[in-house]
A and B are shown apart, each in its own frame.
Chain A
Amino acid sequence: MATLDVEGLHKSFGPVHSLRGVDLSVPAGALAAVLGPSGCGKTTLLRVVAGFERADAGTVRIDGVAVTGPPERRRVGIVPQEGALFPHLDVAGNIGFGVAREQRTARVRELLDLVGLSGFERRRPHELSGGQQQRVALARALAPSPALVLLDEPFTALDAGLRAGLRAQVAELLQATGTTAVLVTHDQTEALAMADLVAVMRDGVIVQTGTPADIYARPADLDTARFVGDAVILPGTADGTAVTTVLGAHAALDHRGAVDVLLRPEQLVRDDASACRATVRSLSFHGHDALVDLDLGGVAVTARWQAGSLPQPGDVVGIRVAGDALVFPR
């Protein structure tokens, strides 16, 4: 188990300023997700930590010790996109690649057992399914007992059904081996579901770090709010104690003047006794629930409601707000 501490990391590629002072701390044994849209610098961050790129400024510490050496001396394992198994080696050859010869056989058996692929030693990478390839790639990274494992969008190439199951398995495996891990992803569902700690990255900096629940419930700004989930953002006016929007008044201390109010769709509860009336415009049905587009006297909002008693487009329904609204100054 090892901690990872990244401080003030800068990296430019010609005119492109890819990292602009990245700070990130991952406690020992934790799984951190770096979440950001493509091009935000998250893959560069990962490559700097692994030692494939040299930072222009800043430090990377593993277990408190600054690392500057080449990748092969960092004890940092990587799981790239689509696994990237060595095509000319079989499964045992891949997993044993980073292990000293005398321990190889035993370690390969141990890891195959761990990832649930015992008996696959002699298979070739092309004979494995996508999910199996990813498990072998993880086993290969874990085999030399690295201080840290970096996962670069490892599930993007898999189909949706496989993804959820594999995510849970991988998170469990990392926890069972006590490995500190950093997962880079643009998929907020993946980050929120797997990680102990989520770092939201945008334009080369980490804008917010916190637990998944924290990030979802208390995003640092509206962009982050939109990025980590569906958001209802309404203009409002605050007077120091409360803020008024088309949905009524919400508690809001210490804000004055024009503000933006953030609600999550599941906070808009159907309540036909409420005085706040809305017209149903359309529905998108998701099975377990549905997103309902509502018209609130000219303002469009979205609510998430349980399946079962969904309204029809054109219906007029009453709604109220459950829980706290988050207020951002304009």
Chain B
Amino acid sequence: MRATLWRARTLELVGRSLWLALTVTVATLVIGIGAAWLVSRTDLPGRRVWRVALGLPLALPSYVAAWAWLALRPEMAGFNGAWLVLTSVSFPYVYLPVLASLRRSDPALEEVARSLGRGPLRVFLTVTLRQVRIAAAGGALLVGLYALSDFGAVSIMRYPSLTHVIYTSYRASFDRTPAAVLGLVLAALAVVVVLVDARTRGNERVARVGAGAARETAAVRLGPWRWPAAGGLAAVLAVSIGVPLWSLTTWLERGRSTADWNEVGDATVSTLSVSALAALATILLAIPVGILSARHAGRLSRSVTAAAYAGHALPGIVVALSLVFFGVRLATSLYQTTAMLVFAYVVLFLSLAIGAVHGSVAQAPPVLEDVARSLGRTQAGAWRSITIRLAMPGIGAGAALVFLTVMKELPATLLLRPIGVDTLATRLWSLTGNASFAAAAPYAAAIIVLAAVPTALLTRDR
């Protein structure tokens, strides 16, 4: 075990994973903040369309994008391909929170700075950037963890980062120790990233002083830069959505005649049923935890919530691997059952559902529960008839989010799926491994179509 840990190769792997995570994070910060500023603070043409379109890459799983790029340009394999794909699908993690924070913050601050004699660039650097710091840092944390734990894109791009090597060493030999040690290293890296984020974030305040509704203003006139700016955003979207979709349609055309549509249908059914089961299990567990954390901010609820969030920060392959060991050693009857696969999804995505439930429960006034109890309902009855009813939109959104995320999940599904069960993601993965791009195309298309439904539900009204 020591031998694996201190090998030069291990250090090299860590360095590669960190380098990829760092470069992707920096790139997404530049793209995300820049795009959010352009669509919220300037007179960019077609701002409203851009605003929605720039969130869309989230619906594209990294391995689908990687497959699409590789099918088009095989020479992209390696660091460049992995970096490009991860950046292009994860920049919305920065873009969306920064955009929300810009729209919440008061543009009057920037106007005041302009009136005090600062130019537009200095205002952006000294006022605007400071306002979005917390939102951007939160987004950067998500991107960092995402890039660190991504398995599909780096594997398809054959970039030997930690996740990829963990999987291959797990598959290649009967000795599972190296995989376990590397998994621990990866988990430790994820913890370090979270801690660094918590440290640097501090407790600076960016609250608005005083009331008054924030307005939408086109504070900055881009002048001759309007079209280059729009062209830049178009290029970002072309790389993140356009090329993958174009590649997909090309290969779909080529593979249509040879595709086994029965198998695609089977994979779709098992993807839908596993995702639905996981979404149901997760939300049922998240409802009591979310209510507890929203209503009783005690030590118990804090530790339960913290445990759920830790599960989310852990890379999927680490959780999957630990469940494999658990299944092989201690729970052989559960190993490679749907129950264990669903359990892995719950561990990975419970925090998503808790966040949604917590937010919507916190908005339901607790006094309504008091009234219900004074009218003869028990505490549980009051939750059922009042709080959960009022929180239903949030609970539904949480379930949709878990459903979407499970559908796109790859590494845990790959390691834990019951024998004979193939989801769209695992089929796409194995076909891409054989370089059967045309045969993989229908699966990629099915994933995108299925992911579009919950994504549309989630982004409605926003």
A86 to B375, CA, bound (A): 12
Once the chains bind, are B367 and A84 in contact (CB under 8 Å)?
yes
Report if A78-B371 is in contact (Cβ < 8 Å); known contacts: A86-B386, A88-B389, A88-B390: yes
Once the chains bind, are B374 and A141 in contact (CB under 8 Å)?
yes
B376's partner among A72, A80, A81 (CB-CB below 8 A) is A72
Once the chains bind, are B376 and A52 in contact (CB under 8 Å)?
no
Once the chains bind, are A70 and B379 in contact (CB under 8 Å)?
yes
A97's partner among B367, B372, B390 (CB-CB below 8 A) is B372
Once the chains bind, are A72 and B377 in contact (CB under 8 Å)?
yes
B378 is an interface residue with CB less than 8 A from chain A? yes
A80 to B377, CA, bound (A): 17
A144 to B372, CA, bound (A): 12
Once the chains bind, are A80 and B371 in contact (CB under 8 Å)?
yes
A87 is an interface residue with CB less than 8 A from chain B? yes
Once the chains bind, are B373 and A72 in contact (CB under 8 Å)?
yes
Once the chains bind, are A50 and B370 in contact (CB under 8 Å)?
yes
Once the chains bind, are A97 and B379 in contact (CB under 8 Å)?
no
Once the chains bind, are A71 and B373 in contact (CB under 8 Å)?
yes
A92 is an interface residue with CB less than 8 A from chain B? no
Most buried by B among A76, A78, A140: A78
A80 to B376, CA, bound (A): 16
Once the chains bind, are B371 and A76 in contact (CB under 8 Å)?
no
A131 is an interface residue with CB less than 8 A from chain B? no
A72 to B29, CA, bound (A): 53
A52 to B367, CA, bound (A): 10
Chain B residues whose CB sits within 8 angstroms of the CB of A146 once the complex forms: 374
Chain B residues whose CB sits within 8 angstroms of the CB of A143 once the complex forms: 375
Report if A80-B390 is in contact (Cβ < 8 Å); known contacts: A140-B375, A144-B375, A144-B376: no
> Could you tell me which residues of chain A, from 66 to 108, have a CB within 8 Å of some CB in chain B?
70-74, 76-78, 80-81, 84, 86-88, 97-98
Chain B 376-388, CB-CB to A under 8 Å as 1, else 0, gives: 1111010001100
Most buried by A among B367, B376, B379: B376
Report if A97-B375 is in contact (Cβ < 8 Å); known contacts: A86-B386, A88-B390: yes
B365 is an interface residue with CB less than 8 A from chain A? yes
Chain A residues whose CB sits within 8 angstroms of the CB of B385 once the complex forms: 97
A107 to B386, CA, bound (A): 21
Chain A residues whose CB sits within 8 angstroms of the CB of B368 once the complex forms: 84, 86
Tell me, rounded to whole Å, the shortest Cβ–Cβ distance linking B392 to chain A: 9
Count the B residues whose beta carbon is within 8 Å of the partner chain — how many? Answer: 18
Once the chains bind, are A72 and B390 in contact (CB under 8 Å)?
no
Tell me, rounded to whole Å, the shortest Cβ–Cβ distance linking A20 to chain B: 24
Chain A residues whose CB sits within 8 angstroms of the CB of B379 once the complex forms: 70
B374's partner among A77, A81, A86, A88 (CB-CB below 8 A) is A77
Among residues of A, the one whose C-beta sits closest to the C-beta of B375 is: A98
Among residues of A, the one whose C-beta sits closest to the C-beta of B373 is: A71
Once the chains bind, are A52 and B370 in contact (CB under 8 Å)?
yes
Interface of A is mostly: loop
Once the chains bind, are B378 and A72 in contact (CB under 8 Å)?
yes
Once the chains bind, are A52 and B373 in contact (CB under 8 Å)?
yes
Once the chains bind, are B378 and A77 in contact (CB under 8 Å)?
no
Once the chains bind, are A71 and B389 in contact (CB under 8 Å)?
no
Report if A80-B367 is in contact (Cβ < 8 Å); known contacts: A72-B373, A72-B376: yes
Chain B residues whose CB sits within 8 angstroms of the CB of A144 once the complex forms: 375-376
Chain B 23-64, CB-CB to A under 8 Å as 1, else 0, gives: 000000000000000000000000000000000000000000
Tell me, rounded to whole Å, the shortest Cβ–Cβ distance linking A266 to chain B: 40
A83 to B370, CA, bound (A): 12
Tell me, rounded to whole Å, the shortest Cβ–Cβ distance linking B378 to chain A: 6
Tell me, rounded to whole Å, the shortest Cβ–Cβ distance linking A129 to chain B: 19
A76 to B375, CA, bound (A): 8
Chain A residues whose CB sits within 8 angstroms of the CB of B373 once the complex forms: 51-52, 70-72
Report if A71-B374 is in contact (Cβ < 8 Å); known contacts: A84-B367, A86-B368: yes
B370's partner among A74, A78, A140 (CB-CB below 8 A) is A78
> Could you tell me which residues of chain A, from 51 to 67, have a CB within 8 Å of some CB in chain B?
51-52
Among residues of A, the one whose C-beta sits closest to the C-beta of B379 is: A70
Once the chains bind, are A77 and B375 in contact (CB under 8 Å)?
yes
Once the chains bind, are B372 and A78 in contact (CB under 8 Å)?
no
> Could you tell me which residues of chain B, from 358 to 373, have a CB within 8 Å of some CB in chain A?
365, 367-368, 370-373
A225 to B117, CA, bound (A): 58
Most buried by B among A71, A88, A143, A144: A71
Tell me, rounded to whole Å, the shortest Cβ–Cβ distance linking B117 to chain A: 46
Tell me, rounded to whole Å, the shortest Cβ–Cβ distance linking A53 to chain B: 11
A84 to B387, CA, bound (A): 13
Once the chains bind, are B374 and A78 in contact (CB under 8 Å)?
yes
A72 to B379, CA, bound (A): 9
Chain B residues whose CB sits within 8 angstroms of the CB of A74 once the complex forms: 374
Tell me, rounded to whole Å, the shortest Cβ–Cβ distance linking A292 to chain B: 38
Once the chains bind, are A50 and B367 in contact (CB under 8 Å)?
no
A52 to B365, CA, bound (A): 15
Chain A residues whose CB sits within 8 angstroms of the CB of B378 once the complex forms: 70, 72
Among residues of B, the one whose C-beta sits closest to the C-beta of A152 is: B367
> Could you tell me which residues of chain A, from 134 to 193, have a CB within 8 Å of some CB in chain B?
140-141, 143-144, 146
Once the chains bind, are B365 and A50 in contact (CB under 8 Å)?
no
A187 to B31, CA, bound (A): 57
Once the chains bind, are A72 and B371 in contact (CB under 8 Å)?
no
Once the chains bind, are B376 and A98 in contact (CB under 8 Å)?
yes
Chain B residues whose CB sits within 8 angstroms of the CB of A77 once the complex forms: 374-375
Chain A 282-311, CB-CB to B under 8 Å as 1, else 0, gives: 000000000000000000000000000000
A87 to B392, CA, bound (A): 13
> Could you tell me which residues of chain B, from 326 to 382, have a CB within 8 Å of some CB in chain A?
365, 367-368, 370-379, 381
Once the chains bind, are A84 and B365 in contact (CB under 8 Å)?
yes
Chain A residues whose CB sits within 8 angstroms of the CB of B376 once the complex forms: 72-73, 98, 144
A125 to B381, CA, bound (A): 22
A211 to B278, CA, bound (A): 64
A98 to B381, CA, bound (A): 12
Binding site for A on B (CB under 8 A): 365, 367-368, 370-379, 381, 385-386, 389-390
A–B complex contacts, Cβ < 8 Å, 30 sampled: A50-B374, A51-B373, A52-B370, A70-B378, A70-B379, A71-B370, A71-B373, A71-B374, A72-B376, A72-B377, A73-B376, A76-B374, A78-B370, A78-B374, A80-B371, A84-B365, A84-B367, A84-B371, A86-B371, A86-B386, A87-B390, A88-B389, A88-B390, A97-B372, A98-B375, A140-B371, A141-B374, A143-B375, A144-B375, A146-B374
Task: Please name the 9 residue pairs, one residue from A and one from B, whose CB atoms are nearest each other, closest first.
Answer: A98-B375, A71-B373, A78-B374, A84-B367, A72-B376, A80-B367, A72-B373, A98-B376, A97-B375
A51-B374, A86-B371, A97-B372 known; 6 new pairs, CB 8 Å cut-off, are A51-B373, A72-B376, A73-B376, A86-B372, A86-B386, A146-B374
